[in-house]
Structure formats: structure tokens, C-alpha cells
Structure 1
Amino acid sequence: MVIRTDYADERAWRALVATLPQQHIHFVDAPSWSGASIDDVLAATRDADDLSVVFLADTATMRSTPPALLALTTLTPEDCEDDEDYARLTESGPTFRTTPAGIPDIHANLSLGNLGFEEYAAWAGENPDGVYRSA
């Protein structure tokens, strides 16, 4: 799921959508999401059982070249065994940035359980600009 939260530049949005694989991505392009915060997105997606990550097309995404979407885990402390487990799984933070090319890789591996959000967040953190790039 890619949620658009910045509506300042329609051309940037269309260019971003053109770079994203159209298959298996649900685009949320509704002005009611304009300026939505991470907490707003988490609250709205909390009950989606099959959704482990959402991608935000926020202001930073629309202004970066190339665009880097904000990946946000939907994992909450209630989803974990205990606080220590949650801390481990979000050690690198609950968000990281990714290029559009990274979305299929992230989504597929999280869905299959091959890799965890924390691994992608750590890989993003290893890059000087903090952006995950698919190999």
C-alpha cells in the first residue's frame, strides 16, 4: 500500500507512480490523507491483518531525487511477545526510506517471512543517505 500524504506537486506524484510496479500495489490517493502523520496512518491501518508495512509518499518523498518513500512498519508492541521483542524488531526504528525499486523486494520478503522489517531498516541505515536500495 502506498499512501499519498503530500498534495503540493501533482507532477511529482504522477512521476512517482510511473516508477512503481503497478501489480500488487494499492495506491491511496485521497486528499483526506493530506498531511497525515505516522500516527494517523498507523491508527487507520491497525486492523489490517495482512498489512505489515505501508509506504508513504510524503513531502520528503516528493522533493527527493530520486524519490524515496517512507516505509512504516505496522508492528505494535501488542503484536510482540514482550517489550524486549518489540525493541529488537524496531531497533533501527519504525521507519526507513526506500527507492521505488525496493518496494517489491520488501513486500515479498516480509509477506513470506524471509526477512524482517528490522533488517531492511538496518540496511537503509548503513547508507549515508539512509535509503534502502534493492540489489
Structure 2
Amino acid sequence: MNVLPEIVGRDDFAALIIRTDYDDEAAWRAVVAEVAQPWGPDGEFETYVHVVDDPVWAGATPEAVLATVRRDEELCVVFVADGATMQSAHHALLALDIAAEDEDLDPMYDQELIDSPQAREFRATPAAVHDVHANLSIANLDFEDFAEAALASPDGVLRPV
């Protein structure tokens, strides 16, 4: 796979969605339409999304996506529209934690983190993208809060409350 291009022009307030699967154009259009819907308890919030729809990203792994988007210091989460997104009825995107994994954990102080590492990814419906992005951007909640909520749901997918 080629080196993935740097994401340019993303507004700091925009959720980043990267398409990595190009097998189902109708499913992709449905994802984009769903994520463009106003959000919030009464649909009172406008959406801010930066969509990357470039075949150079086709087949990119989560690791490759993370390695590329970590260049954006203002970004805390990226949403990936992969094959599972396109094949599922709920079009759940893969949410990836941008924070670099702690490589220098000290067993003397960090044994709990070593024994039980935090979730680094989860699935979220397009309707949940904005809540996740907004709350992580202002540090109102942590990535693990959303990951735990997703894992607690029967199908492992985060939906808006």
C-alpha cells in the first residue's frame, strides 16, 4: 500500500470520517446521509464533518489510518467507514482512539493498565459520531467512556441516547 496522504483542510470542530471500503456505493451514500443529519436531543445541533472519500485509502488498516491522522494534534478520534460499516444495517463506523498507546508503562506504578489495557476502538452509528467527537474534543468524557458504553450494548455498537 502507498503512503497515505496527510489530511488537510479539516476544521478543528469537524469530525473526521475516512472511507476505506469501496465495494458498496449505495451503503456509502447512506452513511454520508446519516452522518449529515442534525444531532442532539432534539436535533438542534448542526453537523461538522470532514469526509475523506479518496480511493487511495481503500483497504487501509486501522493502524495505517492512525499512523497518518496522528499528525493532526487537534484530533482526538477518527471514524473509519470500513467493510463492516458498509455491510451492517446500522452502518456503524469504527471509532479509533488517536492517543498513542503508552509504551513506557512502569510495572511498579501502572500494573492495572498493563493487566487491563483500555479499549482503543469501538463501533458507533453515524448518529452517534457527533456526540462522541464533541465530548472528546472538549474533554468532557474519555474515549474509554464511549468504548465501555458501546461494549455494554447487546451488539457492541454505540447509539445516541
Whole-angstrom CA distance in 2 between matches of 1:37 and 1:51: 18
Alignment length (residue pairs): 133
Whole-angstrom CA distance in 2 between matches of 1:73 and 1:11: 28
Query: Who is 1:98 aligned against?
Result: 124
Query: Who is 1:36 aligned against?
Result: 60
Query: Who is 2:92 aligned against?
Result: 68
Whole-angstrom CA distance in 2 between matches of 1:102 and 1:92: 20
Q: Give the secondary-structure state (helix, strand or coil) at the position aligned to 1:70.
A: strand
Whole-angstrom CA distance in 1 between matches of 2:119 and 2:131: 19
Whole-angstrom CA distance in 2 between matches of 1:119 and 1:93: 9
Query: Who is 1:7 aligned against?
Result: 22
2:96 is aligned with what amino acid?
Answer: L
Q: Which moved more, 1:35-44 or 1:91-100?
A: 91-100
Unmatched segments (≥5 aa) in structure 1: none
1:66 is aligned with what amino acid?
Answer: H
Q: TM-score, normalised by structure 2?
A: 0.76
Q: TM-score, normalised by structure 1?
A: 0.89
Is 2:147 the partner of 1:121?
A: yes
Q: Give the secondary-structure state (helix, strand or coil) at the position aligned to 1:6.
A: coil
Query: Who is 1:45 aligned against?
Result: 69
Q: Give the secondary-structure state (helix, strand or coil) at the position aligned to 1:77.
A: coil
Q: Give the secondary-structure state (helix, strand or coil) at the position aligned to 2:49.
A: coil
Q: Give the secondary-structure state (helix, strand or coil) at the position aligned to 2:80.
A: strand
CA RMSD of aligned residues (A): 2.3
Q: Which has the larger radius of gyration?
A: 2
* 4+ residue segments displaced more than 4 Å: 80-83
1:81 Cα deviation after fit = 8.6
1:77 is aligned with what amino acid?
Answer: E
